[in-house]
Structure 1
Amino acid sequence: MIFERDLKGAQARLGELLDNARHAVAFTGAGISTECGIPDFRSPGGLWSQNKPIPYDVFVSHKAARNEAWRRRFAMEEAFGGAQPGRGHRALARLLSAGRLAGVITQNIDGLHQASGVPDAHLVELHGNGTYATCLECGQRYELSWVRERFEAAGGLAPDCAACGGPVKSATISFGQAMPEREMARAAALTRAADLFIVIGSSLVVFPAAGFPLEAKRAGAKLVILNREPTDFDDIADMVSRSEIGDVLGPFADQA
C-alpha cells in the first residue's frame, strides 16, 4: 500500500495510474457528495443518526411506514434538494468524456452524477435513485412532484399508484429489498474488465456493493481508495489518500 499523505503526491500518483490504465472504473459512495451539502449516513449528524432506516418489508406492509418514509423524503428535499455536483462529480464526468474512465459504479442515490454529465450508459446505480418514484407492483414511474402534491393534499398520507393501486416508493433500494439484478450484472462486468478501480468516498462496509473493489483487486486491477476515514480494504490497496476528495479530484475536472 502507498499511503499518500501529501495532496500533490496523491494527485500526481492518481494521474500516473490513470495514464497507464486502459479500463479505469470509479466506485463512489456518500463521501463524494458531502462537499455538495449532502451529509453521509454514518458520520455524526449523518442521516442514520437522525432517522432509523425503514426496512423494505415494513414499508410494504404498513401504510404508516409509507407515510413516514415520504415525510422524511420531502424533509430531505427541503434541506438538500438544491445540491449541485461537486468537484469530484465533475472530474469523473470529464474523465469519462476524455476516454480516461470506462464507467462509474455508485452507491449514491442523489442523482448528482447524472447532473454532472455522466451518461446513463456509463453509470451503474447499485442502490437506486431517490430523484423519482416507482410503483412496487406495476413499475409505473412517478416524478416526486406528483407524489408530493398528493401527499400534501391528503394531509401527509402516501399516495398509491394511479394505475394499479400498488404502493409507490422512491426508486431506491431499502434494507431487505433485493438488489437490482441488471445493475449488479453491469457492475460485475465493469469490475472484471477493470485494470484500475478507484474507490471514492465509500466506507466499504455495505455489502454486496463493497465486494466489487475486492473482486477487482483479486482480478489484477490496481486499487485506489480516496476516503476521509480508514477502510477495511486499505491494506490491500495500491494507493490510499485521506485528503478531501474534491481537493484530490479537482484538477481532473479542469483537464481536457
Structure 2
Amino acid sequence: MTDWRARRGPIGVLTGAGISTDSGIPDFRGPRGVWTENPIAELLSTYQNYVADPALRVRAWQARRDNPAWQATPNPAHLALVRLAESGRQVGIITQNIDRLHQRAGSGTVVEIHGNMFEVVCIDCEFTTSMATTLGRVAAGEPDPACPDCGGILKAATVMFGQQLDSDAIREAVHIAETAEVFLAVGSSLQVEPAASMCAVAVDAGADLVIVNAEQTPYDDYAAEIIREPIGDALPRLVSEILGDS
C-alpha cells in the first residue's frame, strides 16, 4: 500500500480543541478539560439552558470575559498548517474551535463549523456586533446585556448544543472532506457530530485518514495512521514529512 504521505492531492484538516492547548486554551473532555474539571461549564454551552436562565447567562458573559483565548497566540501546530499551504499544497481546514487561531496564524481556507467567539448575535433579530463591544457593556454594569435593537437575548456567535449548524458551513466542510486525498483529524475527540463524521465522508470518498490525538476516538478503525504524540510536535513533523524535508 502506498504511504499516505506520497499522495499529492488536496489535504483536508479537521481540528478540535487539542490543537489549541499549547496556546494556553484548555480542551473540553481531556483529563484537565474545562468540562471535566467544571461540569457546570457544559451547561453554559447548552442553548435551551442559556435562553431560559438569566443567571446562567450572567455566568456565561463572565466566562466569555475571562476566556484565555483573548491572550492566546498561534502555536507551532497552527503554523505548520500555514507552511503546508504556503508550499503550494491545497489545504482546507474545518475547525471545531471558536478561537480563530488558524486565521491569526495565516491560514486562508478555514470553515468555522461551530462559529466564533469574536462576534455577538441576537437570537430574536438580525442584530450583530463585536464581542469586544458587548463585553464593554458588561464591564459598564450590564451583567446580561440585551439586544439594543429589539431587547432580545444576545449570545456569542458560536453554535451551542441544541442549535442548528450553519448550512453553508456544513456544505463547505463536506466539500473539503469529499475532495481530500489526505484527511488529518487533529486534536479532536471525534465525539461531536456532524463535525466528526467528516472523517467518514473523507474515507468514503477515497481519502487516507490520519488521526493525531492523545486519546482513542470512535474513528480510529478508519485511520491509515494514528499518532498519539503531542500535537505541537507531531503536526510540524508530519508537515515536514509530507513536504519531503530532509
Same fold (TM over 0.5): yes
Q: Letter of the aligned partner of 2:220 in structure 1?
A: D
Query: What displacement does 1:164 show?
Result: 2.4
Residue of structure 1 equivalent to 2:114: 127
- Extract unaligned runs of 5+ from structure 2: none
How far does the alpha carbon of each residue in 1:187-227 deviate from its partner, in whole angstroms, 9 at most, with x for none?
A: 11111111111111111111111111011112211111111
Between the aligned partners of 2:66 and 2:138, the Cα distance in structure 1 is: 13
Q: Letter of the aligned partner of 1:126 in structure 2?
A: I
Do the aligned partners of 1:227 and 1:243 also contact (CA within 8 Å) in 2?
A: yes
Superposition TM-score, scaled by structure 1 size: 0.85
Residue of structure 2 equivalent to 1:5: none
Structure 2 counterpart of 1:245, from 209, 231, 236: 231
Do the aligned partners of 1:110 and 1:129 also contact (CA within 8 Å) in 2?
A: yes
Between the aligned partners of 2:133 and 2:193, the Cα distance in structure 1 is: 33
Count residues in correspondence: 237
Q: Which has the higher contact order (CA 8 A, sep 6+)?
A: 1
Query: What displacement does 1:177 show?
Result: 0.8
Residue of structure 2 equivalent to 1:84: 73
* TM alignment of 1:173-212, pairs within 5 A: 173-212=159-198
Q: Letter of the aligned partner of 2:26 in structure 1?
A: P
* TM alignment of 1:1-256, pairs within 5 A: 17-49=4-36, 50=38, 51-54=41-44, 55-76=46-67, 79-119=68-108, 122-154=109-141, 157-251=143-237, 252=239
Q: Letter of the aligned partner of 2:97 in structure 1?
A: N
Between the aligned partners of 1:18 and 1:163, the Cα distance in structure 2 is: 53
Between the aligned partners of 1:230 and 1:58, the Cα distance in structure 2 is: 30
Q: Letter of the aligned partner of 2:48 in structure 1?
A: D
Query: What displacement does 1:19 show?
Result: 4.5
Do the aligned partners of 2:111 and 2:173 also contact (CA within 8 Å) in 1?
A: yes
Instruction: Describe the SS at the equivalent of 1:147.
Output: helix
Query: What displacement does 1:63 show?
Result: 2.4
Query: What displacement does 1:158 show?
Result: 1.4
Do the aligned partners of 1:129 and 1:171 also contact (CA within 8 Å) in 2?
A: yes
Query: What displacement does 1:232 show?
Result: 1.9
Q: Percent identity?
A: 39
- The Cα RMSD (Å) is 2.1
Instruction: Describe the SS at the equivalent of 2:48.
Output: helix
- Extract unaligned runs of 5+ from structure 1: 3-12
Do the aligned partners of 1:131 and 1:171 also contact (CA within 8 Å) in 2?
A: yes
How far does the alpha carbon of each residue in 1:68-94 deviate from its partner, in whole angstroms, 9 at most, with x for none?
A: 211111122xx4421100111111122
Residue of structure 2 equivalent to 1:6: none
